[in-house]
Amino acid sequence: MPIDPRRLELLSALSRKVLWLSSWTIHHANHIRPNVDGLKVGGHQASSASLATIMSALYFSVLRPEDRVAVKPHASPVFHAIQYLFGNQTRDKLKTFRGYKGAQSYPSRTKDIDDVDFSTGSVGLGVAQTLFSSLVQDYVSAHGFMKGRREGRMIALVGDAEMDEGNIFEALLEGWKHGLRNTWWIVDYNRQSLDAVVREGLWEKFETMFRNFGWDVVIIKYGKLMQAAFAEPGGEALRRWIDNCPNQVYAALCFQGGAAFRKRLQDEIGDQGEVSALIERRNDAELLALMSNLGGHDMANMLEAFEAIDHDRPVCFIAYTIKGVGLPFQGHKDNHAGLMTPAQMEAFRDAQNIRPGHEWDKFEGLAQSPAELEAFLKDAPFNRQGPRRLETPTIPVPERLSFPAAAQMSTQQGFGLILNELARGDSELASRIVTASPDVTVSTNLGAWVNRRGLFAKAALADVFKKEKIPSTFAWDYSPKGQHIELGIAEMNLFILMSALGLSHSINGARLLPVATLYDPFIERGLDALNYACYQDARFMVAATPSGITLAPEGGAHQSIATPLIGMAQDGLASFEPAFVDELAVIMRWGFAHMQRDLDDKGSARDGTRSGGSVYLRLSTRTIEQPQRIMTPDLARDIEDGAYWLRKPGPNAEVVVACTGAVMPEAIEAVGLLGDSRRDVGLLAISSADRLHAGWTAARKMRRERRGAPYMSHVEKLLAPLPRDCGIVTVLDGHPAALGWIGAVCGHRMEALGVEHFGQTGSIDDLYRHYGIDANAILDAAEGLTAGAPVRHRKMAV
Ligand SMILES: Cc1ncc(C[n+]2csc(CCOP(=O)(O)OP(=O)(O)O)c2C)c(N)n1
Ligand SMILES: [Mg+2]
């Protein structure tokens, strides 16, 4: 169907306005706002300009309220300009673009006010996020959680160099396995990256690859002007020339302008006949307009391409563009951080008919009436349903999570048992849990949960082994009702899926409680994706197991040292490393509630720490003796806050041991052995170094802000009664710095034991001895901190 000319005219006008506003935003940040530190705000203008037409087509016309978009990081000024025209972004925030509390340089779900669907910035991640969001939408739909909402398209605006990021290809594979639908990736094929010009012929590789994975591929190369010129006599020769022109040369000519194009064309294809006439019919400006009229800059073309899609298969659009189009540095290879000079800006302003002082006026300089433009914007389908962030009630969390107690257990085993108990019941909580694992479902103890709740797939598929009555511990039936999403090994995919599942309450209006399992060392493989998931405030639980050097039988290469520090340092992630399974049950219960709390829920954070977020459980396969005790509310609260006295120190304590996680038996043994020669020895069980530390930091801040407030954090309350000269030995199976700060809380001397090197294989005993976290190492450290006779009893070598 031909596009209504009035609609085309309005959209083209708005798209020019978007290019102006985005350019002005950057210019303002550099030349007009007092720039105290003298730094230039680069990196956006050229990259944004590439997408002004495509994004205007999408937001002002093509997008529906249920669609969600990941915008290429450097198109942020274009995104903000569009939202400004919609009335969702303020002039003040644009004026302080990249400044304190201003509009963000990369669209941010949490920091921007203008309806960002997915935070981007680390290239590649936003692209894959749309794919996983689409799978999550399928999950929500199959489980009957859509409540009549229409399915949306998950759309990524992708830089062509962004396609170098491996995580995109990992996601592509996973999408194919799960029958991906409703996903559009629009590649801004400007053939430029940050430093360079993209390799020749790359799109052919993309095309074959996407088609291979079942995607529809739409190539939008020539704009309408070009198409019309190709129909003129000599047009075919022009098309051939364009097709054969190397990326570098085309980019350079776009920068040099119409006269340069003319010379080049005349030299190379000027035949003194039809082609020459075709060229000569245009003056320099017209020739440049023709040669810059690549498909991605032609509104009519883009609308047609988008509106022609009549199926829900995934689509990759490859839209030819010119980086910096319409700006003085268009096509220049150094344009990534290019800025217009004040003189260039003035010329650009004049060309747009914008009066000085009216730069921010929404419709200044446009020929169409403001009333008509305003009405058009108001009527954009994108805006028709009001706020696009959906609200969902929280899912009740039971008072306690139960598990069959046993005298000896590992935390990993406990994790499996707790989930199995949930799977057996019929709580709403259990119905909203979605588990996922990158090929380590069984080895991380999720097997029992999966046996009961099944695997998710859009089409049912029975477990062949079960059908054939071949004995197996696992019954893996796939169905649309299944609650486990089995992934390939790629950990990036796991965390991007967590990010997508963990935003479902806001994106799909259906709250899910995602739980991921993986081996602890491989957190590092997916770290950036984990970081971005937290950055956009997705809510999920990660059980990482086995961990540390305690995973001894797994071998040296799998040992993890840095993860306790990652857990502490990762914003938005509360990390725990329980020693015992009853602690884990408390933590998981707390975790399911924490995953659902709003960030501004002041009432829930009793200690000034973050009120809601994701949760990381660092678990172990080491079977250890479990305490026989009643979980009192006080004990549970201490565990949630990060620590409790497993053995309370006496009033004259000379030394205490503070321990986290799987090395607890060594700490218990050392405390026992110390008892003969040191007075009143205590044992502090630390369930979360992260929460303990965060509480301490928050308390100091609170005291500074409200001078004299008597507020004490949990760790201060625990350590304050210790005599000044009491020593503290900390120990964990991880980097010692994770607990190395504890001495500073009340000014106690301390020694921090932990693991700083890795790779040695051996039994747990061998490794604890080798790395110095066994009972004797604790005794040595205690001795070094205290006066008095040498410790009498030591652990005998076995
Ligand atoms: C993971 C990651 N690495 C590096 C960067 C820095 N960076 C930002 S944009 C860019 C290249 C952009 O090229 P392209 O994707 O083609 O976008 P264009 O600017 O051409 O539109 C790079 C390397 C980043 N943002 N994220
Ligand atoms: Mg590019």
pLDDT digits (tens, 9 = 90+) for 604-645: 556 778 889 999 999 999 999 999 999 999 999 999 999 999
The residues, any chain, with a CB within 8 Å of residue 16's CB and separated by 6 or more, are 352, 366
What is d(CA 251, CA 241) in angstroms, rounded to the nearest whole number?
Answer: 14
HSE-CB at 285 with a 13 A cutoff on CA atoms is 1
Per-residue 3-state assignment (H helix, E strand, C coil) for 333-388: CCHHHCCCCHHHHHHHHHHCCCCCCCCCCCCCCCCCCHHHHHHHHHCCHHHCCCCC
- Ligand 2 centroid–CA 692 distance in Å is 45
Q: Whose CA is nearest to atom 10 of ligand 1?
A: 194
Number of Cβ within 10 Å of residue 725's Cβ equals 13
Per-residue 3-state assignment (H helix, E strand, C coil) for 496-526: HHHHHHCCHHHHCCCCCEEEEEECHHHHHHH
The residues, any chain, with a CB within 8 Å of residue 450's CB and separated by 6 or more, are 435, 441, 474, 476, 484
One-character DSSP codes across 286-324: HHHHHHT-BGGG-HHHHHHHHHT--S-S-EEEEEE--TT
Give the SS3 label for residue 77: helix
- Ligand 1 centroid–CA 325 distance in Å is 18
Nearest by Cα to 239 from 195, 289, 278, 198:
278
Nearest-Å Rg of the Cα atoms of the chain is: 31
| Contact 23 CB / ligand 1 (< 6 Å) | no
Which atom of ligand 1 approaches the CA of 106 most closely?
Answer: 25
Choosing from 120, 123, 167, 528 the residue with most ligand 1 atoms within 8 A of its CB, the one to mutate for a pocket test is 123
What is d(CA 576, CA 642) in angstroms, rounded to the nearest whole number?
Answer: 8
pLDDT at 733: 98
Give the SS3 label for residue 269: helix
| Contact 160 CB / ligand 1 (< 6 Å) | yes
Q: What pLDDT digit, counting tens, does each position of 558-584 carry?
A: 999 999 999 999 999 999 999 999 999
| Contact 611 CB / ligand 1 (< 6 Å) | no
What is d(CA 504, CA 214) in angstroms, rounded to the nearest whole number?
Answer: 26
| Contact 44 CB / ligand 1 (< 6 Å) | no
pLDDT at 43: 57
| Contact 276 CB / ligand 1 (< 6 Å) | no
What is d(CA 669, CA 773) in angstroms, rounded to the nearest whole number?
Answer: 12
Which atom of ligand 1 approaches the CA of 163 most closely?
Answer: 15
Can you read off the two tokens belonging to residue 504?
Answer: 């479902």
| Whole-Å CA distances, 492 to 125, 129, 674 | 9, 11, 46
Give the SS3 label for residue 730: strand
- Ligand 1 centroid–CA 191 distance in Å is 12
Nearest by Cα to 192 from 298, 58, 320, 76:
320
Which atom of ligand 1 approaches the CA of 159 most closely?
Answer: 15
Can you read off the two tokens belonging to residue 482?
Answer: 């299944």
What stretches in the chain show pLDDT beneath 50?
none
Task: Give the alpha-carbon dihedral of 49, 53, 57, 60, to 10 degrees.
Answer: 60
| Contact 321 CB / ligand 1 (< 6 Å) | no
Residue 541 pairs in a beta bridge with: 515, 615
Nearest by Cα to 201 from 146, 733, 209, 169:
209
What is d(CA 722, CA 742) in angstroms, rounded to the nearest whole number?
Answer: 13
Choosing from 22, 47, 195, 330 the residue with most ligand 1 atoms within 8 A of its CB, the one to mutate for a pocket test is 47
| Contact 47 CB / ligand 1 (< 6 Å) | yes
Q: In which element (H, E) is residue 647 found?
A: strand 643-647
pLDDT at 335: 83
- Ligand 1 centroid–CA 558 distance in Å is 32
| Contact 74 CB / ligand 1 (< 6 Å) | yes
| Contact 578 CB / ligand 1 (< 6 Å) | no
| Contact 188 CB / ligand 1 (< 6 Å) | yes
Nearest by Cα to 240 from 226, 253, 254:
226
- Ligand 2 centroid–CA 122 distance in Å is 15
Nearest by Cα to 319 from 457, 465, 220, 460:
220
What is d(CA 580, CA 631) in angstroms, rounded to the nearest whole number?
Answer: 12
| Contact 514 CB / ligand 1 (< 6 Å) | no
| Whole-Å CA distances, 81 to 93, 551, 602 | 11, 52, 33
What is d(CA 40, CA 223) in angstroms, rounded to the nearest whole number?
Answer: 34
| Contact 49 CB / ligand 1 (< 6 Å) | no
Which atom of ligand 1 approaches the CA of 123 most closely?
Answer: 26
| Contact 196 CB / ligand 1 (< 6 Å) | no
Q: Whose CA is nearest to atom 23 of ligand 1?
A: 194
Which atom of ligand 1 approaches the CA of 158 most closely?
Answer: 15
In degrees, to the nearest 5, what angle opens at C-alpha 158 toward C-alphas 153 and 164?
Answer: 130
What is d(CA 696, CA 690) in angstroms, rounded to the nearest whole number?
Answer: 10
- Ligand 1 centroid–CA 194 distance in Å is 6
Which atom of ligand 1 approaches the CA of 50 most closely?
Answer: 21
Which atom of ligand 1 approaches the CA of 336 most closely?
Answer: 19
Ligand nearest to the CA of 194: 1
| Contact 193 CB / ligand 1 (< 6 Å) | yes
Which atom of ligand 1 approaches the CA of 198 most closely?
Answer: 16
- Ligand 1 centroid–CA 24 distance in Å is 22
- Ligand 1 centroid–CA 162 distance in Å is 6
Nearest by Cα to 322 from 250, 265, 230, 272:
250
Nearest by Cα to 664 from 749, 577, 737:
577
Choosing from 193, 202, 323, 329 the residue with most ligand 1 atoms within 8 A of its CB, the one to mutate for a pocket test is 193
Q: From the DSSP assignment, how many helices (H) and strands (E) are in the chain?
A: 33, 20
Can you read off the two tokens belonging to residue 405?
Answer: 């107690």
| Contact 397 CB / ligand 1 (< 6 Å) | no
